[in-house]
Structure 1
Amino acid sequence: MSIKTINLTPDPRILRMLGQIELKGWQCIAELVDNSIDAMLKTKSSSKTNEIEIQIPSRVEIERNIPLSIRDNGTGMTEDELENCLKAGYTSQSTDNLGLFGMGFNIATARLGDVVEVWTSTKEMDHEIGVRIDLIEMQRTKSFVRELLRRKKTFAVSGTSIEISKFHPRAEKLLNKQHIQKELNRIYSKKLLDEYKISIKTNQVQLKPFEFCVWSEERSVIYQGEEIHAVQHFNHDFDDRHYCARCFIWIDEYEADITTQTVCPNCNLADMVQARKINIKGWVGIQRYNDLEHYGINIIRNGRIIKKLDKSLFTWQDRYNKNNGEPIKDYPIDTTAQGGRIVGEIIADFITPTYTKDSFEETDKHWLDSVEVVRGKGPLQPKIAESLQFTRNQSPLAKLFYGYRKSFPVGLKNLIPGNKAGQGLYSEAKKWADLFYEGDPDYQSDTKWYEAVLNAEFPVDDSGIDPTIMDNTPPAAEGEQNTGDATNDSNPTPSANAAQDQDLYPGRKIHLADKELDLRPTLNEMPYRLAIYNYWPTVDFKSPIIFEAIQASKFNVYVNNNHPLFKDFADGWEDLVLMEISTRFYEKLNNLDIWPLSRIYYELKNKYFGEKMLSVQALVSEAKALITDIQNYLVNEVSGQPLVQLPVLSPEQLKTLKQNYLQIEAKSLQDVDTILTTTEFLKYMDYSYIIDFAKSNPSLIYDDNYFALPYDTLDDSDIKTRQLEQYNGYLGDIKWFIFDLSNYTDVLVKQQRNLIIRNRFSLEFLNSKVS
């Protein structure tokens, strides 16, 4: 009996149907770029620059059928390699490719157009070979057979080009050049492109791989006596695993005595089973600014960023069923007003992404083990971890959590930029980050941010200095300037030519700041450069601010702390300096009707001391941030202690508790009495109640619990009562910001200016006393 054969080649319309798979435009381009990069990873030349050029047609060009092209100078392909790469479903045995599926090329091209031409040449060839794929023609003829084409070599040495044309209607929307450029910048790691000297250009615009704006590795904070650096590295090897490159699956890791001849349980073959190394490495670090969205960890496979700003590692998953299977959110919990700042990169080449390459199987055992390398077995929150019987978490992510979980107080304690008044420069830090991302050379290092950290750490506070001790001054400490003997001249005139051995301004001087006051391009005048000192003169100067000319526009400025102005009024030196500089600018101008003195003063203050202006929005946000931080402290740090006196909620407060519990937990609150036994219930209460609770429970927040202010440690009951009244007054001022000032019109804000200024001091004082 004769055996009849049948042809099982699929219908060519399947290739067109692949184009219906939902890939975004940038994903289509990236899939083809991945193929080019794969070819480049085969060789690592010390001199050659690997180039990939993408040319995306405009809308008009799409209408004219000008092709989209991707061209590289990689190794090129032989006839067999070209044939294999164009087959739907083909895969190589390589473990290092960015591409995983042979379908990737077919899906990406079919998504955009019906005609694809591929041309390639190796360095040994003196010509190019190519294939033209016309899906409509192939469907008409029902044939997968394509003619192998030849043409004169156009590559300098070797390479491959892909051209897509006869576009689908959806291509116009998919091929957004700006969006594609932005996305490509975010999906290839800088390490990959640098290591293999890969240059990618889209319509002649160079791809700039994304880099996190993080603190340098030398920066650190101290937590419980331990120095915690702002960047933490990790590198961990697991046992090898076996993988079927045909079926794209890991073979059961619990199988005993695995050999390279192990049969895949899916295809029952051994030829594509490989032993692959399992390694997890990377880093986690602290961003130089907080953001409500822009934080998280990039997860990278073979240089391709599979998940961007992933936040899943900030939630503890109950893998060991110690919390009834319930996850626990660890971060951010203390900085809900400012957002998070922990970022990083996890390089996990063993993960198998989806065909869209923006996700992967996160329940894989080795991925779960990898997560524990980065964030440890237990929750990041120490008290919660202890309550679940976990040992102290020493993972890289846990260390960052310990040292950097809070965003105030500003300064060195939490590595947060601020100003001299102790206010956080959260918005300003973001603006500097924008300049970092734009490539501004002055903002690539963290110097600007660190100067602001130091600025906040050493505020203007001279209460500890005795101005009467002037003679026999000890050697100057770092940052101070000692001067010589006193002079009897009671009214010296500033001079730039004073003799070096004669000090015209005797007394104690402490350097405050260096300022460059520059109004260019608004005013076309040279800036003034000032070195500003706190000054306690040993002679009687009549001026509160003294300018000593060094050069035409360079001065030493002495803030005369002996002057009555600083004793009798609340004025600071900043406004006085601005008045003087405003006058000097004013004297140079001719158009005084356009530039009166008041306008010059405003422009200077807005540019250089904007944080001291009465910004209602900023004050309200800072007040809310403080109360939110108190709330998080009481919920996360104190919740293990039963309350001595159970709170009694009004009907309206009880309603707030139940509504917020439902919103946050997605279930109804069944046992109100139990939740009220600890501070856990505060998680679901509003600002007003948190403030009232803090007033009623001073023992929970003072005496270095939250505020470094004495209460229980005071042994005199009258003093204790007066101190509590004072503290509650401060909290009342904070409540006024949130519930009254936030609703004021501009007219009311102007009328209540003095009250705003007074209450601002309460906010600044409490922020400065956070322990």
Structure 2
Amino acid sequence: MVFARGAKASRALARDRIKRAKWEAGVSLSANETSIESLDLTPSPRLLEVLGDIPYKPWQCLAELVDNAFDDFLSDKDRGPSEPPAVQVTLPKPGTADGDEFVCVADNGRGMSLEQFERSLRAGYSLNSRYGSLGLFGMGFNIATANLGSVTEVRTTRSGDSDWLIAEIDFREMQRQGSFTVPLRREPKADPYMHGTEVMVRQLRADKRAPLRRQQVATTIREQLGRVYSYLLRSRDALPELPETELAGRGFGLYVNGTVVRPRLPCVWSSSRTVSYQGSEISAIQRIDRNLTPAWACQDCGHWNRGAAVESCTECESENLELRERRIIGWVGIQRYLSTSDFGIDFLRNGRKILISDQSVFQWENPDTGETMVEYPIELGATQGGRIVGEIHLDHVPVTYQKNDFKRDSLDWVTALNEVRGEGPLQPMKAKAQGYEANGSPVGRLFNAFRRNDAGTKCLIPGDGSGPLHEKARNWASLFRKGLPEYQTDDKWYEAAQQHDDIKQGKHKPVSRTPRGPGPKHDNRREDGSSAADDLLDRTGLGGDSQPEEGSDRQQPTLPIPQPQPETEEQRYARYRQNARRIADLSSVVSVAHLGKRSIAVFDTPEPLVDHSGRSTPCVSHTLRGNAIEVFVHGDHEVFREYGRDPRDYAIIEIAEALRALANTDDSVARVAAEVTEQFRDQRFTEAALRERSDALLGRIREGMSGVAASHAAALWASLGAEEKQAAERHAAGAEPRLVWREATENGSFIPHLRPEGFAVLVRAHPALLLDGTVFSTTWSTWNDQEARYRQVERIARLLGTVGEFVADTGGKTRLELAMMRLTLDVLEGEISEVNTQ
């Protein structure tokens, strides 16, 4: 609701007009009236050319013009569904002759009257109010067009008008004439019901002409506009994860060189997906909707004036005020994949994104010291990244003139930021240490419930039974954005997470079965020697051993036993596929130099496999239509079960051989297999990744031990040797120089500064405090035998010691050392209790 407060302004203007009229008429002024002289402050037309030097990227110039069209769409409440709102952007083609290039932005909005047309083109004038609109037509229009070229033609018409209104703004000609006056032309239109506005810029600037002609630039601009206008472009049912139509989209159309601009949709988990955290189910989508107290917005300077009885703006004393609602609405959620850059919160003003993937919400500034601490992502942040995303609408918060940031020093921005991420640290232990309550903000809830990146449904991370599939999840996200139907929902990701859990729990353990295909042992008999045919005859009463009824004088006819038909190749592969489990991390599109690109699907099947000659084999493949390749691995084959070989290695060899056969090349299997292997990046394990994983696991152990140390600090500290105490103090001095170390040893705050070797000492000294599900899930008190208890303790201590040696040794590691460390971390991860680390 908008209320105008301009009565006093009107009276002041009336008094000024009377004074000016007296002065012009030569009437004497009273003693308290001053003489008025006027100054002509009309700027030089050179101003418009100078505006072109303001640094704007091509997509920003176009966005300024698109903003004005979308503003009209947003305010047009009477528009019918038969004519969807759309904007057409035309860029120069690569083959356009020099001097003939132009940029055009045309819309099918309502068009403008003559009065609106004149005012909207005036330098610095805005037809729109300061708030409630995407663009300020006057200045934004001038900056955008001046950045693109020196001549701008604007055409507009309304439904029912007989003519087009046309104005041409030639910056150089206006400068020569020293006047802002431009001629107005009228052109008759064939269709009286046509309506809209068209802006065409010619004589493009040299620094814009060459880039705009490149073919790739149009694609890049489409992608950028698809990000900026994602909310306005997507339809109201584009996001099943967000059922509320208010947050779903508006369905506007936008085209660049005839190709639709597709909105970049957020690839998030559905709000129905949850994880458990401290006894509660936390949804993967957290909604935000907070109504703030309405305030008076100054339409001249943009200042928000709070209070019930505001007469004039406290900043500029203007009385041109409007009472407007202030609301923070949107959502934050969990992306289906991790990324080192593609995560963060989008902040929108009137549907347009001002900040994209902003990560400042994950930083906490200590109000006492001014120090800034990055809190997210913690686990695998450097190698895999984060996955918290969101869209927050802040229509009331002022933005910079380039619309690339909000005014962060404004109270409105600070209020919004606190609503989204809270005032205190996200990390519970950090919050407690700083005197804050646990962070219960939307971002705080997601941070604590989803901060870990373990494979499985407990963290909503796709996996393959041995580890997470981060690279595969990112590949699926690219297919989601290409619009492939099977990737639009989160089912693909969830199936992989559920599959990981099933494998870990033994639900998908391959079971050996007797081959049913053709071969020397294929007789279709059961363990008792009977066949399926015998069973059929027995159940129908036609078995050959059945006795004739008493009194029967004739022998029962003997029916021929049907012989089994040979299994076709198609049936054999269908049988392999029926109970198979797709190996997600190896199922992809593989591209090998000189051998082309092939779609690969790899399955682990419980069915024993045979090759084309009927001999048993651990792995087999066949080619489908379109040269797609299916590979089957029998996971229970003795080469895997008894010799410890990895089924994935055999599958990659089979893929390589299939590619060689299709391409009829003499490239060696080893070379092709190596190139195939390098495309499955989830199979990598590097020293940097293992170190980051070590830090993450140690962080979880520190959290668990900190809970114990709060009430047993003295006993734990006393158990440490001099070397571990000294190492902890040195670490604390560098990490938290303001920490009072004596107090830390008394309240348990020393725990975050211990080395893994220090944890091992505490496990040996206090197994009753740290084992049995408190910090480590390993049992201790349930064992009566002292030797059994000792082995339980030593197993955990040795794992911690191994991690400590790896972390401390910064020298290069061999392949076997890295492999051993990966296994150590796998075992240690399974030993950490879930109770105190979430």
Shorter-chain TM band: 0.7 to 0.9
* 1:263 matched residue in structure 2: 312
* 1:20 matched residue in structure 2: 53
The one of 696, 700, 724 aligned to 2:761: 696
- Structure 1 residues 602, 275: CA separation in 2 closer, same or farther (over 3 Å shift)? same
1:710 paired to 2:788? no
* 2:106 matched residue in structure 1: 71
Residues 513 and 531 in structure 1, CA contact (< 8 A), matched pair in contact too? yes
1:283-309 per-residue CA deviation (whole Å, 9 max, x = no partner) reads 111011122222111001111001111
* 2:417 matched residue in structure 1: 371
Residues 51 and 199 in structure 1, CA contact (< 8 A), matched pair in contact too? yes
Q: C-alpha separation between the residues in 1 aligned to 2:564 and 2:482?
A: 41
* 1:219 matched residue in structure 2: 273
- Structure 1 residues 29, 736: CA separation in 2 closer, same or farther (over 3 Å shift)? same
1:290 paired to 2:355? no
1:124 paired to 2:198? no
* 1:506 matched residue in structure 2: none
- Structure 1 residues 676, 87: CA separation in 2 closer, same or farther (over 3 Å shift)? farther
* 1:336 matched residue in structure 2: 381
1:358-397 correspondence to structure 2 within 5 Å: 358-386=404-432, 390-391=436-437, 393-397=439-443
Amino acid at match of 2:644: A
> Which moved further from structure 2: 169-178 or 296-305?
169-178
- SS of 1:11 mapped into structure 2: coil
Amino acid at match of 1:24: K
Q: C-alpha separation between the residues in 1 aligned to 2:739 and 2:202?
A: 62
Q: C-alpha separation between the residues in 1 aligned to 2:598 and 2:356?
A: 46
1:160 paired to 2:201? no
- SS of 2:62 mapped into structure 1: helix
* 2:553 matched residue in structure 1: none
Q: Which runs of 5+ in 1 are unaligned?
A: 471-482, 500-509, 536-541
- SS of 1:458 mapped into structure 2: helix
Q: C-alpha separation between the residues in 1 aligned to 2:151 and 2:665?
A: 69
Amino acid at match of 2:605: I
- SS of 2:402 mapped into structure 1: coil
Amino acid at match of 2:415: D
1:459-608 correspondence to structure 2 within 5 Å: 459=503, 486-488=527-529, 497=565, 513-514=581-582, 532-533=605-606, 568-571=642-645
- SS of 1:275 mapped into structure 2: strand
* 1:97 matched residue in structure 2: 133
1:64-114 per-residue CA deviation (whole Å, 9 max, x = no partner) reads 252221111211111111111112222345443101463111122222322
* 1:430 matched residue in structure 2: 474
1:696-748 per-residue CA deviation (whole Å, 9 max, x = no partner) reads 3335875435542235776655444433433344345556766779825xxx6
Q: C-alpha separation between the residues in 1 aligned to 2:631 and 2:143?
A: 68
Q: Which runs of 5+ in 2 are unaligned?
A: 1-22, 27-35, 236-248, 514-523, 532-562, 568-577, 609-614
* 1:768 matched residue in structure 2: 830
1:622-701 correspondence to structure 2 within 5 Å: 622-631=690-699, 633-634=701-702, 638=706, 641=710, 642=713, 644-645=717-718, 648=722, 657=731, 661=735, 690-698=755-763
Structure label with greater radius of gyration: 2
- SS of 1:459 mapped into structure 2: helix
- SS of 1:221 mapped into structure 2: strand
Kindly state the Cα deviation for residue 144 of structure 1 after the two structures are TM-superposed: 1.6
Residues 519 and 604 in structure 1, CA contact (< 8 A), matched pair in contact too? no
* 1:169 matched residue in structure 2: 206
- SS of 1:277 mapped into structure 2: strand
Kindly state the Cα deviation for residue 157 of structure 1 after the two structures are TM-superposed: 0.9
- Structure 1 residues 53, 523: CA separation in 2 closer, same or farther (over 3 Å shift)? closer
Kindly state the Cα deviation for residue 344 of structure 1 after the two structures are TM-superposed: 0.5
- SS of 2:294 mapped into structure 1: strand
Q: C-alpha separation between the residues in 2 aligned to 1:590 and 1:134?
A: 61
Kindly state the Cα deviation for residue 620 of structure 1 after the two structures are TM-superposed: 5.3
Amino acid at match of 1:97: S
1:613-644 per-residue CA deviation (whole Å, 9 max, x = no partner) reads xx442x75145313333136526972874451
- Structure 1 residues 332, 605: CA separation in 2 closer, same or farther (over 3 Å shift)? closer
1:361-389 per-residue CA deviation (whole Å, 9 max, x = no partner) reads 23433443333433345443334445556
Q: C-alpha separation between the residues in 2 aligned to 1:433 and 1:130?
A: 46
Amino acid at match of 2:362: F
* 1:299 matched residue in structure 2: 347
- Structure 1 residues 578, 327: CA separation in 2 closer, same or farther (over 3 Å shift)? closer
Kindly state the Cα deviation for residue 30 of structure 1 after the two structures are TM-superposed: 0.8
- Structure 1 residues 594, 200: CA separation in 2 closer, same or farther (over 3 Å shift)? same
Kindly state the Cα deviation for residue 325 of structure 1 after the two structures are TM-superposed: 6.5
Amino acid at match of 1:16: E
Kindly state the Cα deviation for residue 257 of structure 1 after the two structures are TM-superposed: 3.0
1:723 paired to 2:792? yes
* 1:140 matched residue in structure 2: 176
> Which moved further from structure 2: 731-740 or 424-433?
731-740
- Structure 1 residues 568, 20: CA separation in 2 closer, same or farther (over 3 Å shift)? closer
* 2:519 matched residue in structure 1: none
The one of 80, 84, 96 aligned to 2:119: 84
Kindly state the Cα deviation for residue 48 of structure 1 after the two structures are TM-superposed: 0.9
The one of 451, 463, 481 aligned to 1:418: 463
* 1:112 matched residue in structure 2: 148
- TM-score, normalised via structure 2 length: 0.71
Kindly state the Cα deviation for residue 234 of structure 1 after the two structures are TM-superposed: 2.1
Kindly state the Cα deviation for residue 192 of structure 1 after the two structures are TM-superposed: 5.2
- Structure 1 residues 405, 554: CA separation in 2 closer, same or farther (over 3 Å shift)? closer
Residues 307 and 358 in structure 1, CA contact (< 8 A), matched pair in contact too? yes
RMSD, matched Cα: 4.7
Q: C-alpha separation between the residues in 2 aligned to 1:590 and 1:52?
A: 47
Q: C-alpha separation between the residues in 2 aligned to 1:434 and 1:405?
A: 23
Residues 691 and 807 in structure 2, CA contact (< 8 A), matched pair in contact too? yes
> Which moved further from structure 2: 691-700 or 524-533?
524-533
Q: C-alpha separation between the residues in 2 aligned to 1:296 and 1:587?
A: 43
* 1:186 matched residue in structure 2: 227
Q: C-alpha separation between the residues in 2 aligned to 1:454 and 1:81?
A: 60
1:456-488 per-residue CA deviation (whole Å, 9 max, x = no partner) reads 2122565999x9xx9xxxxxxxxxxxx997445
- Structure 1 residues 461, 403: CA separation in 2 closer, same or farther (over 3 Å shift)? closer
Residues 631 and 682 in structure 1, CA contact (< 8 A), matched pair in contact too? no
Percent of counterpart pairs with the same letter? 29
Kindly state the Cα deviation for residue 263 of structure 1 after the two structures are TM-superposed: 2.2
Q: C-alpha separation between the residues in 2 aligned to 1:241 and 1:604?
A: 62
1:440 paired to 2:488? no
- SS of 1:342 mapped into structure 2: strand
- Structure 1 residues 451, 656: CA separation in 2 closer, same or farther (over 3 Å shift)? farther
Residues 40 and 74 in structure 1, CA contact (< 8 A), matched pair in contact too? yes
Kindly state the Cα deviation for residue 411 of structure 1 after the two structures are TM-superposed: 0.8
* 1:233 matched residue in structure 2: 287
> Which moved further from structure 2: 525-534 or 388-397?
525-534
Q: C-alpha separation between the residues in 2 aligned to 1:35 and 1:769?
A: 59
Residues 128 and 136 in structure 2, CA contact (< 8 A), matched pair in contact too? no
Q: C-alpha separation between the residues in 2 aligned to 1:660 and 1:388?
A: 18
1:275 paired to 2:323? yes
Kindly state the Cα deviation for residue 138 of structure 1 after the two structures are TM-superposed: 1.8
Kindly state the Cα deviation for residue 53 of structure 1 after the two structures are TM-superposed: 1.5
* 2:540 matched residue in structure 1: none
1:370-412 per-residue CA deviation (whole Å, 9 max, x = no partner) reads 334333454433344455565554433232123211112x211
- Structure 1 residues 164, 496: CA separation in 2 closer, same or farther (over 3 Å shift)? farther
> Which moved further from structure 2: 391-400 or 431-440?
391-400
- SS of 2:206 mapped into structure 1: coil
Q: C-alpha separation between the residues in 2 aligned to 1:486 and 1:518?
A: 41
- Structure 1 residues 628, 658: CA separation in 2 closer, same or farther (over 3 Å shift)? same
Q: C-alpha separation between the residues in 1 aligned to 2:565 and 2:703?
A: 63
